[in-house]
Structure 1
Amino acid sequence: MTELLVVRPGALTTVQDRGRPGYAHLGVPRSGALDTAAFALANRLVGNPPDAAALETTLDGTGLLALAPTVVAVTGAPCSVRVSGRPAAWGAAVRLPAGAELEVGPAESGLRGYVAVRGGLAVPPVLGSRSADLLSGLGPPVLSAGMRLPVGPAGPDPVPWADVCGLPGPPAELLLPLRPGPRADWFAPASLAGLWRAEFRVSARSNRIGLRTEAGPPLVRARSGELPSEGMVLGAVQVPPDGLPVVFLADHPVTGGYPVVGVVPPGPALDAAAQARPGTPVRFLRSR
């Protein structure tokens, strides 16, 4: 079986696929790649099926040694790509000879990159998914130096002209459509109305669990007391006691006790949230 040897793991590199939906009733988060479009593009470029597992890097890339010939593609946050010291293409299929070292450099903008390998990463699945879940600890561990990553059987040759138009770059301003509810009535009407005019910033405390905001006007409650824990979905915007919204991402808990002011629907906005660096301005746009 083809393997990749981890030479440089990077700050936080995990194996991700499309996640493990359908287990919230057991307390298991969905998990999966945060930037779903960039993840899907990486797999298409190497000829993989859309659910093949790939690597998700965070900020400073990773380094891998090919122990057999293979094909890889790097997408997501723009970065330098080198093969045994020579420049290679970002956002395209790249052939690695046996013994070649792939160096995925630091993100030049954005936050998260995706490294797909032809055949997909064949780590053992857990509940039908190969995704690493940082909240529950399910799935493969975070990459470390010396780890060997098994690669599945290669599929058809990549299509060289696939996706030549690419994807939007990381956001200079994060605009999040927000469908109000189910607990919008827990907030003062004037404060809720001001949400659509407010500007927040992405907090450095953000992670795969949630995008935390800072610097904006706190949302003021209209009622006190506590909510019983209730189910949370991807994109739910929960408001903790400090009044600053938190957007739940792929590794979010399945229940929560703070009121949810609204939900950001899955799609391009949550993909952009995956690439928003700390300090990026955030605005919520009222949506239906």
Structure 2
Amino acid sequence: MLCLVEDLGRPGLAELGVGRSGAADGDSFRLANRLVGNTEAAAAVEFVLGEVAFRFHRAVTVALTGAPGPVRVSERGAAFNAPFPVRPGELVRVGRPASGLRGYLAVRGGLGVAPVLGSRSWDTLAEIGPPPLRAGDLLPLADDGDGPLVADVAPVRWPSADTPLRVIAGPRADRFGPAALDALTTRPYEVTAESNRVGLRLAGQALHADASGDDAGGLPSEGMVTGAIQVPPSGQPVLFLADHPVTGGYPVVGVVVTADVPRAAQLRPGDPVRFRWVGG
């Protein structure tokens, strides 16, 4: 499935109409680079639902993070969240994870594909950066190592799908009455098959503007951020992820806190989603 080169994206270009993009699950991405002694921004591979294989033509150190699946290096086993050596000619195979969506493969030194607008990330919405990988593509290595290897394994606890995503009130929360605000956090939603790196399209209780106030449409375009929960006329929320548009005209009822966005990026179609209000 979708297999991309990503880094930490293109911050600071929104005024030019270019979103940040970058790794959808930034926590897993950074961990992969730290495990192989890279800078956190070194380019790595993001892949969806495993079932992917990489052949290496030189001796390297590799780490896999994100949605954990079975790993084989030629005829021996390996594990997620731990660096391991790969010899020239060996094949690293990653199977389908039992839960979660996205995995990351980092190589000591990082990937040396050509940057576009200062980043080696593929933006699926703007179609900027190195294009999605295909069978047979050859990826050069870079020199983004940042020091010696310092860990044998990272103790990562995979989060439960039942844990709510924390949400703060959005800039247009006042367009929704108490019933809609309550429904967002008391009733579960489901991730739909139309979801992607742009955002999670959710199905569940429709959210509509308070009948006593303004309707939910008619807004001028305004800036959008990762984690924003936008409500289109259908009332079915959309949770923006890494490749979201830089502006939007539908009201943002809430924003998932930054620390919980990586967990949202690991949700699959069919997974339940719960929200919990936090803050004032």
Q: How high is the TM-score relative to the length of structure 1?
A: 0.91
Q: CA deviation at 1:59?
A: 0.8
Give CA deviations for 1:95-124 in whole Å, capped at 9, x if unaligned. 111111111111221110000000001111
Q: Look up the equivalent residue of 1:220 and give its one-letter code.
A: H
The correspondence for 1:235, drawn from 227, 236, 256, is 227
- Asked if residue 210 in structure 1 is aligned to residue 199 in structure 2, the reply is yes
The correspondence for 2:268, drawn from 264, 277, 284, is 277
Provide the alpha-carbon RMSD of the alignment. 1.5
Query: In 2, Cα distance between the equivalents of 1:87 and 1:181?
Result: 46
Give CA deviations for 1:64-122 in whole Å, capped at 9, x if unaligned. 11111111111110111111132222221111111111111112211100000000011
- Asked if residue 34 in structure 1 is aligned to residue 24 in structure 2, the reply is yes
Distance 1:110 1:170, change over 3 A: farther
Query: In 2, Cα distance between the equivalents of 1:32 and 1:139?
Result: 10
- Aligned length, in residue pairs: 274
Give CA deviations for 1:237-266 in whole Å, capped at 9, x if unaligned. 100111111110000000111111011121
State the partner residue of 1:198.
187
- Asked if residue 251 in structure 1 is aligned to residue 243 in structure 2, the reply is yes
Query: In 2, Cα distance between the equivalents of 1:12 and 1:181?
Result: 31
Higher mean alpha-carbon deviation, 146-155 vs 72-81, is at 146-155
Residues 77, 275 of structure 1: 8 Å contact kept: yes
Residues 173, 280 of structure 1: 8 Å contact kept: no
Q: Look up the equivalent residue of 1:261 and give its one-letter code.
A: V
Q: Look up the equivalent residue of 1:182 and give its one-letter code.
A: P
Q: Structure 1, unaligned stretches of length 5 or more?
A: 1-10
Q: Structure 2, unaligned stretches of length 5 or more?
A: none
Query: In 2, Cα distance between the equivalents of 1:174 and 1:111?
Result: 16
- Asked if residue 99 in structure 1 is aligned to residue 97 in structure 2, the reply is no
List structure 1 runs of 4+ shifted beyond 4 angstroms. none
Higher mean alpha-carbon deviation, 241-250 vs 186-195, is at 186-195
Query: In 1, Cα distance between the equivalents of 2:3 and 2:160?
Result: 22
Residues 17, 53 of structure 1: 8 Å contact kept: yes
Identity %: 53
Q: CA deviation at 1:172?
A: 2.0
Query: In 1, Cα distance between the equivalents of 2:181 and 2:257?
Result: 19
State the partner residue of 1:219.
207
Q: Look up the equivalent residue of 2:207 and give its one-letter code.
A: L
The correspondence for 1:261, drawn from 247, 253, 265, is 253
Residues 39, 144 of structure 2: 8 Å contact kept: no
- Structure with bigger strand share is 1
State the partner residue of 2:52.
62
* 1:89-128 pair list within 5 angstroms: 89-128=79-118
State the partner residue of 2:173.
184
State the partner residue of 1:3.
none
